[in-house]
Structure 1
């Protein structure tokens, strides 16, 4: 409990620091923020109206504390472009982005764990070399190039095998689950292949180190085969390390899917952030960046706690010696 409270306090302090950085980053941009939001050809009256409506005429510290107070109460402000609450807009976009990340993570885990296990257990050097090359090539593929390749192979209309749509998301969202899942198939596979190659390397490294350990030898001496020992004992011992890697991959996918969402025209958080930047809706960008940073920190907090629960050596360091 003390560890959780310490990590929670660190999470809150770091989140406060991030809020300061995000708030300050948009204020140090050259030019008047209200002028940037209104456009360079706007009239002085329009600029003054935006400055007053967004509270930009108040002192900077008062602007920050007001924004922070709103964040604490779930009020992320109003979009200058649409007039909608930013929280509602992000919620709609998150219903696309987070299922995409979840599907991509599922694909990455299947690819990384299965191929990493087979690369470790294979007796044939040629097979091990093949898996090693797959991991290197998969991890080196740019997301844009990988997505275009999958479109040319599996998209309807232009692909060799027309299985999935290559653009857009159903207007009714998840009320059409089959169409929604079909729209996310190629983007999720793109993310899964790239991050699965990274997870494959970590899985192979962790299991290879355990393969020659006394623990696996003792397990095999108890009547298990080599593969049974690695599945039942090896994966369990490697789980803390793999959980940490998977948690980091999950967090990094938020930024990784920005390219994918723009390529496949998915109305997610990454696509919306690029759109808001292009439309100079800086108040929306400010809140969206903070929410992304908060998500990163929250995933790190959860991974730390799970890692400690899974690894007894971290709970009882005095027993390690």
Structure 2
């Protein structure tokens, strides 16, 4: 509990620091949201009136306080350009982005874990080299190039096989689950293949180290085959390391998915953020960036707690350290 409480305190402190950083950095950028809303032919009086209506004439400390107070009440503000609730837009876009991230992670795990274990179990030097080459080549493919290649192979209309849609998302959203899932398949494959290559490399390294441990030798002495010992013992011992890698990969997928969303014309958070940045909608952008940063920090917190729960050595180290300090 002491470890969890300490991590929660650090999590809250990091959130406050990030909120201040996001707020200040957006104010440093050139341009004026009031001038964007008013248009190119607006008079200075009109721009000044809009700045007053949007609260941009208040001191920065007061603007930051109003924003933080709204966040504490679950109010992300109202878009200065569109006049719509930022929270409502974020929820709508999340229904596209987060299923895409989860589907990409499932594809990455389905690729990375089995191939990583297979690379350890391979007895042929050529086969091990083949797995190594696959990991390097798949991990080096840029997301945009990989997405275009998948479109040319599998998309309807312009693809060779014409199996899946390559643009857009159903207007009725997840009311048509099969259509929605089909729209996310190619983007998820684009992100999942690259992430799967990364997980494959980490899995191969972690399981290979554990495969040469005494625990695996003992399991084989008790009657297990090498394959059984690697999959049942070595993989289980490597799980804490893999949880950390998978958590970081999941966080990195957020930025990768945002690029892919624009390629496949998906109405997700990435497209929303790009549009709001172009419109200089500071109220919307600062809330969106804060939510993304908070999600990164939350993933780090979950990974830390899960790693400690899965690896008893960390608990023992913490107890020993506490006794030594006492």
TM range (shorter): over 0.9
| The 10-residue stretch of structure 1 (38-47 or 52-61) with the greater mean CA deviation from structure 2 | 38-47
TM-score (norm 2): 0.95
Q: Tell me the alpha carbon deviations over residues 92-137 of structure 1, each in whole angstroms, 9 at most, x when there is no partner.
A: 0000000000000000001110111111100011111111011111
Gaps of 5+ in 1: none
Contact persistence 2:191–2:257 (CA under 8 A): yes
Q: Structure 1 residues 305 and 318 mapped into 2: Cα distance closer, same or farther (>3 Å)?
A: closer
The answer to whether the 8 A contact 1:79-1:281 is kept is yes
- 1:169: which partner in 2? 169
Contact 1:27/1:33, CA 8 A, preserved across alignment: no
How far apart, in 2, do the equivalents of 1:82 and 1:30 lie?
A: 21
Q: How does 1:90-129 map to 2 (within 5 A)?
A: 90-129=90-129
Shift of 1:318: 6.5
1:36, distance to aligned residue in structure 2 (A):
4.7
> How far apart, CA to CA, are the structure 2 residues paired with 1:83 and 1:259?
26
Tell me the distance in 2 between the aligned counterparts of 1:275 and 1:318.
Answer: 47
Structure 1 equivalent of residue 324 of structure 2: none
- My pick for the range that moved more, 310-319 or 289-298, is 310-319
Q: Tell which deviates more after alignment, 11-20 or 226-235.
A: 226-235
Tell me the residue number matched to 1:196: 196
Task: Please identify runs of 4+ aligned residues in structure 1 that moved more than 6 A.
Answer: 318-321
User: TM-score by structure 1 length?
Assistant: 0.97
Deviation of residue 84 (structure 1)? 1.2
Residue 70 of structure 1 corresponds to: 70
Partner of 1:274: 274
Hey, what does 2:149 align to over in structure 1?
149
Indicate the residue corresponding to 2:311 in structure 1: 311
Q: Does 1:20 find its partner at 2:20?
A: yes
Per the alignment, do residues 226 and 23 of structure 1 end up closer, same or farther by CA in structure 2, a change over 3 Å counting?
same
How many residues are treated as equivalent by the alignment? 321
- The one-character-per-residue Cα deviations of 1:178-211 (angstroms, maximum 9, x if unpaired) are 0000000000011110000000000000011111
Deviation of 1:33 after TM superposition, in Å, equals: 4.6
Cα displacement (A) at 1:14: 0.5
1:290–1:41 distance in 2 versus 1, CA, 3 Å: farther
Once residues 267 and 195 of structure 1 are traced to their aligned partners in structure 2, the CA distance between those partners, rounded to angstroms, is 22
The Cα of 1:297 is off from its aligned counterpart by: 0.4
For residues 267-298 of structure 1, what are the alpha-carbon distances to aligned partners after superposition, in whole Å with 9 as ceiling and x for unaligned?
A: 00011101111222221111101110000000
For the pair 1:54 / 2:54, whether they are aligned, the reply is yes
Q: Deviations over 1:214-264 (max 9, x none)?
A: 110101111111111111111110000000000001111111111100000
SS of corresponding position for 1:224: coil
Q: RMSD over aligned Cα, in angstroms?
A: 1.5
CA deviation string 1:4-47 (max 9, x = no partner): 00000000000100000000011112344533554554332432
